[in-house]
Structure 1
Amino acid sequence: MPNQTLRAVVAVPVFNEAERIEHCLRALDRQEDLGGSGLGVLLFLNNCTDGTAHVVAALRTSLRRSVRVIERAYAEANAGWARREAMEAAAAWLEESDTSDGVILTTDADSRVPNDWVARNLAAITEGVDAVAGRIALDEADAARLPASLHARGALEGAYEALLTELEARINPVAHDPWPRHWTTSGATLAVRLATYRQVGGMPPLAVGEDKAFVSSLLSSDARVRHDPDILVVTSGRLDGRAPGGAADTMKLRCQVPESPCDPRLEPVPRALFRFALRRRMKELQSSGRLGRKAPWAPLLGIGTEAARRIANLPTFGAMLAATEAASPMLRYRPLRPAELPRQILHARAALSLLRLTSRVRGRSSRPKVVAVESASQTSAEQTGHA
């Protein structure tokens, strides 16, 4: 990276990916539109026994980007630990380069990012957010080998998730994460400011769901997270995954047990609407300084006085909101079964149609008022002139 200041480092945890690591590295090496921003790639090879290290060594001389490789053998390794180690090494690289506004990105060794992936993430952060979450799509060849029943279920869940996402965006709009947005929080496509990463304590070393837990910690700290729908990364759809409990195991379970529960966030429409409205109301109370005043909202949610007092004393609104949802029996997630999705989709569409109609009516009713005011002013002026 001659004559370029290091701005971003991509952290990639790698475990036995000899067959796919070249596609991942080539995609990262093709990143475009970075201007004067230097880009580094940090590969964290943990417990690799399939020749991944040899493949990487053979590739490095043909890559334009600066690549650092760390190899580690650790008997207690898991997906979250490996991602944390990779991101910690990426953070250290930025810090030793004295990069004040550095950005850490992370993806998976079995994923392929588009040529503008880094540029889009950096652009979003430059516009004022602290972290960016993109979307993922399955590799077409892998997807073609999956059973039709899994695709059908995925289509239903995807449709319902999109409806709930828009409902939340309309009921509880967020300035830094406007509609259109999405719900995905995948380690295959995340970016975060170095300072924000340090502020929240880094990636949690969890065996399962470290990416979701990390984004939750960002939100709890009031970090501005953008769920950018225009960032899309292709990842593998294999059923023999490298991380126990990961996406591959989830797909395998759904093949074996078609009626296994959906993602907990895909809750019934009435409960989702209540949750979204509560989030908006709590935000309004917080902004007006009334959230901590005797916590009048707590009894309505089944939260005791002492617990409400502890929640009101938390340092950030995000932490208050997370604690409220965790403490309230009315807000516990109760996941749907796939057979329930078609009916819930109908309910969600009806609710969304009503919200859209209300928004249009409000828009139309507000415009004539302006015209009426202008007309009244004009008439008054004319009358004054005639007088």
Structure 2
Amino acid sequence: MIGILIPAHNEEALLGDCLEAAIIAASHPGLLRETVHILVVLDSCSDASAAIAEGFGVQCLHVQARNVGHVRGVGARHLLNQGVRWISCTDADSRVAPDWLVAQLALGTDAVCGTVTVDSWDESFDRTAQIRYHQAYQAHDGHRHIHGANLGVSAGAYVQAGGFEPLACHEDVQLVRNLERCGASIAWSHTPQVITSARLDSRAAGGFGGYLNGLLQSV
């Protein structure tokens, strides 16, 4: 079994597209009909996120934390208790490629750190800031980016590394650093594709949206 883990806080605008893409990836013929559990962990949601997730028939957990590291950790434990061998993480404002799971597993490593492609730029993110982003971003194999929107890890390596820590941001970075310390094999790959939003009002302070805001302010 494989698990897809999606944290969500008030994501009614984008969650439907995220789940539609995840369901397509979970049905890819390359998985040879292996069971895929899609789990949305709804954190302090006051909008229609829960109704949207339930409408897609995926698993849902409700927490009141406002802490993405805690949320991912709760979700990962839930999936591990269901017996998954691999956990693939993405974000509620992102859309995974149809072959996302197949591409992660085909790399044959303990973990996969993938890249992201920005869907469309916020109108306030001007051309100069976009150029700065593309100059700094390594959209190729061997990159060193870490995105919770495109991250996969085997159950064994995840447990050995101690899992997601309850951090308000960069819980994904901390997990990868712990995986490295444990000697896990990690693929830094551009192959598993994920499209993500370029919104500047990110749900987790210091996350991808915070990075984009920093680029904008440095122009």
TM-score normalised by L of structure 1: 0.53
Instruction: Check whether the contact 1:87–1:106 (CA below 8 A) recurs between aligned residues.
Output: no
For 1:254 and 1:122, the matched residues in 2 are separated by: 33
Structure 1: 5+ residue runs without aligned partners? 1-6, 61-66, 166-179, 259-387
Distance 1:211 1:139 in 2: 21
Amino acid at match of 1:243: A
1:216-295 aligned within 5 A: 216-258=177-219
Runs of 4+ in structure 1 off by over 3 angstroms are 142-145
Tell me if 1:136 matches 2:116: yes
Fraction of identical pairs, as percent: 29
Q: Secondary structure at the match of 2:91?
A: coil
1:212, distance to aligned residue in structure 2 (A): 1.0
Alignment match of 1:154 (pick from 133, 140, 148): 133
- Return the match for 2:99 from 97, 104, 116: 116
Is the CA contact 2:63–2:71 (under 8 Å) kept in the aligned structure 1?
Answer: no
TM normalised by structure 2 equals 0.92
Secondary structure of the residue that 1:188 maps to in structure 2? coil
2:73 aligned with 1:84: yes
1:208 aligns with 2:169: yes
Instruction: Give yes or no for the alignment of 1:51 onto 2:48.
Output: yes
| Larger relative contact order, structure 1 or 2 (CA cutoff 8 Å, min sep 6) | 2
Larger CA deviation: 198-207 vs 83-92 = 83-92
Consecutive unaligned residues of structure 2, counting only runs of 5 or more, are: none
Q: Counterpart in 1 of 2:87?
A: 104
What value does the CA root-mean-square deviation take over the aligned residues?
A: 1.7
CA offset at residue 228 of structure 1? 1.5
Partner of 1:93: 82
Structure (1/2) with the larger strand percentage: 2
The equivalent residue for 1:24 is 18
Letter in 2 for 1:245: G
Deviation readout 1:22-70 (Å, 9 max, x if unpaired): 001000111212113111101100100012112222232xxxxxx2111
How far does residue 257 in structure 1 lie from its aligned partner after superposition? 3.2
Aligned partners of 1:41, 1:214: CA distance in 2, in Å? Answer: 21
What SS does the aligned partner of 2:82 have? helix
Q: Deviations over 1:315-366 (max 9, x none)?
A: xxxxxxxxxxxxxxxxxxxxxxxxxxxxxxxxxxxxxxxxxxxxxxxxxxxx
SS in 2 for 1:231: coil
Structure 1 residue 121: Cα displacement: 1.1
Matched, 1:38 2:35: yes
Q: Secondary structure at the match of 2:116?
A: strand
Q: CA deviation at 1:143?
A: 5.2
| DSSP-derived class of the 1:119 partner | helix
Whole-angstrom CA distance in 2 between matches of 1:256 and 1:182: 25
Name the structure where helix makes up a greater proportion of residues: 1
User: Following the alignment from structure 2 to structure 1, what is the Cα–Cα distance between the partners of residues 199 and 90?
Assistant: 17
User: Does 1:190 pair with 2:170?
Assistant: no
Letter of the 1:40 counterpart: H
Q: What's the CA shift for 1:145?
A: 5.3
**Whole-Å separation in 2 of the counterparts to 1:41 and 1:58:** 13
DSSP 3-state at the match of 1:230? coil
Deviation at 1:231, TM superposition (A): 1.5
**How far did 1:153 drift?**
0.9
SS at match of 2:156: helix
Once the 2 structures are TM-superposed, how far is the Cα of residue 124 of structure 1 from its aligned partner?
1.6
The CA distance in 2 between the partners of 1:9 and 1:124, in whole Å, is: 17
